[in-house]
Amino acid sequence: MFVTFEGIDGSGKSTQSTAVFESLSRVLGEDRVLKTHEPGGWSGGETIRNMIISQKMESIWAEVMLFLADRSEHVERIIRPALLSGMVVLCERFSDSTAAYQAFGRDFPKDVLDEISRRAQFPVPDITFWFDVPVPVAMERITSRKSAPDRFEADEIFLERISRGYESIFRNEPERVFRLDGRIPSALLTENIVSRILKRITT
């Protein structure tokens, strides 16, 4: 089963992906669950991640191609082998992030993005959990961190466009994307997510 965690920066997806991984590992066994992330979730991927995060690309095409190059290796080296072996794969960010950030956020042609993803045969998540929080709440969380915001986190107007992008994805695929209020207590969110995943596994 392929499960993805999505949302704007500061939505809580990192916290939840870790908590869900720990909970599922206790129930299913550590050998049945894999936790990974994008960009940079494979050996060597941190180089691409650092390029994406640290520098603003003048060309949106260059930015998207870096994300897709990272995803291609990530899928072939990590995600697809784990799925084929029957593991539950938990991935923080995947194709929906690229659609929300680069297509809705930076006006990259979404039809081109969809076609590349189709031709590359990227797996489609079985379940996607979208942590929906108001941008001001997300910004407050971001600024409270010890580390300085990266270039994707610092622009409130940009995050508003991305949030609308996730809303559009949710409306188009409500059977796949579960919308969760990222402001409710973390433990309740984790319980809800784990319950949904286990129910899907057993049915």
Residue by residue, pLDDT tens for the chain (203 residues) are 999 999 998 898 999 999 999 999 999 999 999 999 999 999 888 888 888 877 677 889 999 999 999 999 999 999 999 999 999 999 999 999 999 999 999 999 999 999 999 999 999 999 999 999 999 888 888 877 655 555 554 577 889 999 999 999 999 999 999 999 999 999 999 999 999 999 998 76
* Domains of the chain: total: 1
Q: What is the pTM of this model?
A: 0.91
Rounded to 5°, the CA angle 14-36-85 comes to 140
Range of the domain at 52: 2-202
Q: Look up the CATH number of the domain holding residue 133.
A: 3.40.50.300
CA 25 to chain centre: 20
